[in-house]
Chains A and B, each alone.
Chain A
Amino acid sequence: MKKFIGIFVLSLLAVLFGIYQSASGLKEYTPMWPNLPAPIGSEPILITSAGQGAEGAVTHLMVKRLNLNANYRPRALATDIYDYETILIYIGYSKNGVKNAFRNFKEEKERIKRIVTFANHQEIPVILIHPGGSMRDDSRTIELIKEVLPLSDYFIGKRKMDHGKDVLEMSIQHKIPITLVKETRDMLTPLNSVFR
């Protein structure tokens, strides 16, 4: 029996840990908007990344599928936005992506903040998209969302998010329209509503 004591203690710990995680994370939030009632953006579109996640390219695929005129430039700077009518920002922090871009998190945050501030100044609509949901809602990704959400015009995210409540409350506070969907491909509808 003695040989099972250690395993029993660890199993108990795992069960408690599992219960805590199930209770604290992953809640589904009802979307505020199924999609935008009227388009706010126009082409050409600049797609950039906040956090440099490799999966940011998914946004480019979506835009291509909607037959929109867009450029995918994950490392774009504020000075690059003159040629565009809409800024679409994919949000998802990747430490490998940031490292690959020869930046650190602080510089990345600063870059994206400048883009959003400059876009606001130029009255270019800023659309935030977060297809990662619970798969990509670590503290740094949430920090990026909190940084740019107040300055954006629309947020498209997933219903299943550990920090979904924070994002929802923030969007209500800053009166930012928000659409939360179940699957990544469901994002096509609200994204299309931005332009058509």
Chain B
Amino acid sequence: MKGPGRNIYAISGFIMMVYGQFFPAMVSEWTSHLFDMIEQSILQNESGLLLRASFTYITWNVFAFMLIYSGSMLSAEAVSKDRKRPVYQLSFAFIVLINVFLYNMMYNEYESYFMHLMMVITYLVLQLIIPEQPFSLLAQFVLLFLILVSFSWLDLYPGLAGMNFGTDDFAASLKVADSYLSEFEILQNLSLSFFMVFAVLAVIFTVLIYLFNQQITTMKKVQEQERELKETRDALLESNVYKEIHALVHDLKTPLVTVEGLISLLEMKLARDEKAVTYFSKINSATSKMNEMISEILSEEIKQDINVDDLISYVISHINFDHVNIDFTWSAENNIPPVKVNRIRFARALSNVIENAMLSLGEQKGYIHFSATNKEDGVLFRVEDNGPGIDQENLKKIWEEGFSTNNSSGIGMPFVKQVVENHQGTVRVESVPHQKTTVEIFLPFKQGDEHDFNH
């Protein structure tokens, strides 16, 4: 447990122990009433009144020691959070016995150390079964209460006087009174019955908590497995879609080769027609570009050197800026060396970022600024807008597939990250809602370099 948590436990425990120690002094009227009840039960030779006095004594005793035991438990938690460790167990026993000693000293009482030691052992054995879970502290308090009630009744069992059980003032008075009134018939049966009832309740409670926790654990496991299964299904589905697209793009190559071949034949046949030659040259250039694009789509590893200006122009050419309310500007430093990228995929990644900015602005008026800066070891692409932005909680989720704040597919930003990382680049998003959102993509010239965004 860390410092502040430990201190809270220690302080709470100490306060409870102090309250427990001063409890008899705080309830002196109740104490006096209990004394009178015992005396009157004898003077009136009334067993019923003695029974009432016994119940009052148990309540009085449980109140006082519940505070002391709970305080000791919290203090022991401050020493060691793990209740199954010997340090916790011995600390708890030590604190309880010290408290009993102080209680005896303060009130000239004769609380039995042996009985309290037995109570501590019983609690420690049962609490081993209670697993760590959010409500385990509450469960510990309930368990302590049941054990305390159970052993308090044992205090009134006359047969255990030899083991110094029930040597405190009221217990002694009740037992002596009962020894004459019913020759121990009342307390012997009553104390043993209630001891058994509460001891069994303590065991049942512990087992129930254990079973409940097992059920929760099983449910969590099932939920986790279901989630993993869903993820696997989604991944499989996605993989199938990619495979189909991949196959489709691959199949485009065959008709393209046919087109290229037939164009070559036509070019040879119409070699004397200058106009036709010019057209064929343009068609050839277009088909070879298409071929390159297909190759780049089919293989992420195909990269080529490209000027940053050309890359930006290529990106912008694929975006529809008909939106009247958006003030779109872009800039690129002049001295940026060419970058080696998979043009199709990297341009798509940059387009995604810009389109996200446009989507976030929606119908409202705003600006988007797209820039490229030379950072010596690479190029820093920055897209800045003044849309509604992303709050801190959602900022952590934008890299998760399927997450979207604008009902889109939710694969845009994960795709950006995947492409940038494939180029050994880094991507960072910062947002101050309703002020400014910035996406920075760093692309190293020498791939493998990492960029420190703070410099």
Identify the A interface with B (CB < 8 A).
Answer: 2-7, 9-11, 13-14, 17-18, 21-22, 25-26, 53-58, 60-62, 72, 92, 94-97, 99-100, 105, 131-132, 134-136, 138, 140, 160, 183-185
Contacts of A22 in B (CB 8 A): 162-163
Contacts of B84 in A (CB 8 A): 2-3
Report which of A10, A58, A183 forms a contact with B177, defined as CB distance below 8 A: A58
Contact with A along B170-183 (1 / 0, CB 8 A): 10111111011001
B158 touches A10 (CB 8 A): no
B120 touches A94 (CB 8 A): no
**Given A3-B128, A54-B38, A60-B42; 9 other pairs, CB 8 A cutoff:** A6-B89, A6-B93, A9-B86, A14-B118, A54-B177, A57-B177, A95-B107, A134-B162, A184-B180
A136 touches B176 (CB 8 A): yes
Known: A21-B114, A53-B172. A26 touches B90 (CB 8 A): no
Considering only residues 135-194 of chain B, those with a C-beta below 8 Å from chain A are 158, 161-164, 166-167, 169-170, 172-177, 179-180, 183
Distance between A15 CB and nearest chain B CB, rounded to angstroms:
10
B161 touches A131 (CB 8 A): no
Chain B: interface residue total (CB-CB under 8 A): 50
Contacts of A4 in B (CB 8 A): 128
Q: With A and B bound together, what is the CA distance between A9 and B93 in angstroms?
A: 11
Considering only CB atoms, which chain A residue lies closest to B166 in the complex? A135
Contacts of B86 in A (CB 8 A): 2-3, 5-6, 9
Contacts of A9 in B (CB 8 A): 86, 90
- Interface: B31 (CB within 8 A): yes
Known: A17-B113, A94-B173. A55 touches B108 (CB 8 A): no
Known: A95-B108, A134-B162. A17 touches B114 (CB 8 A): yes
B85 touches A184 (CB 8 A): no
Considering only residues 1-45 of chain B, those with a C-beta below 8 Å from chain A are 28, 31-32, 34-36, 38-39, 42-43, 45
Report which of A3, A10, A92 forms a contact with B121, defined as CB distance below 8 A: A10
Q: With A and B bound together, what is the CA distance between A29 and B401 in angstroms?
A: 87
B162 touches A13 (CB 8 A): no
Distance between B373 CB and nearest chain A CB, rounded to angstroms:
59
Known: A6-B85, A22-B162, A134-B162. A61 touches B180 (CB 8 A): yes
B89 touches A135 (CB 8 A): no
Contacts of B117 in A (CB 8 A): 10, 13-14, 17
- Interface: B257 (CB within 8 A): no
Contacts of A134 in B (CB 8 A): 161-162
Report which of B87, B125, B164, B176 forms a contact with A21, defined as CB distance below 8 A: B164
Q: Interface SS of chain A: helix, strand, loop or mixed? A: helix
Considering only residues 85-130 of chain B, those with a C-beta below 8 Å from chain A are 85-90, 93, 107-110, 113-114, 117-118, 120-121, 124-125, 128
B89 touches A10 (CB 8 A): yes
Contacts of B87 in A (CB 8 A): 6
Considering only CB atoms, which chain A residue lies closest to B53 in the complex? A54
Contacts of A61 in B (CB 8 A): 42-43, 45, 180
Distance between A31 CB and nearest chain B CB, rounded to angstroms:
18
Distance between B85 CB and nearest chain A CB, rounded to angstroms:
7
A18 touches B42 (CB 8 A): no
Q: With A and B bound together, what is the CA distance between A135 and B42 in angstroms?
A: 17
Contacts of A185 in B (CB 8 A): 180, 183
Report which of A2, A100, A105, A131 forms a contact with B179, defined as CB distance below 8 A: A131
Known: A14-B114, A54-B42, A135-B158. A7 touches B180 (CB 8 A): no
Contacts of A99 in B (CB 8 A): 28
Closest 3 CB pairs of A and B: A6-B89, A6-B86, A57-B42
Distance between A136 CB and nearest chain B CB, rounded to angstroms:
5
Report which of B125, B128, B176 forms a contact with A184, defined as CB distance below 8 A: B176
Known: A3-B84, A57-B39, A184-B176. A138 touches B110 (CB 8 A): yes
Report which of B32, B43, B118, B183 forms a contact with A100, defined as CB distance below 8 A: B32
Distance between B129 CB and nearest chain A CB, rounded to angstroms:
11
B163 touches A18 (CB 8 A): yes
Contacts of A10 in B (CB 8 A): 89-90, 93, 117, 120-121, 124
Distance between B412 CB and nearest chain A CB, rounded to angstroms:
51
Q: With A and B bound together, what is the CA distance between A3 and B34 in angstroms?
A: 42
A95 touches B169 (CB 8 A): yes
Q: With A and B bound together, what is the CA distance between A184 and B187 in angstroms?
A: 15
Contacts of B163 in A (CB 8 A): 18, 21-22
A54 touches B128 (CB 8 A): no
Contacts of B120 in A (CB 8 A): 10
Listed A/B pairs (22) with beta-carbon separation below 8 Å: A4-B128, A6-B87, A6-B124, A7-B128, A17-B113, A21-B162, A26-B161, A26-B162, A55-B176, A57-B43, A60-B43, A94-B35, A94-B169, A96-B31, A96-B34, A132-B172, A135-B175, A160-B162, A184-B179, A184-B180, A184-B183, A185-B180
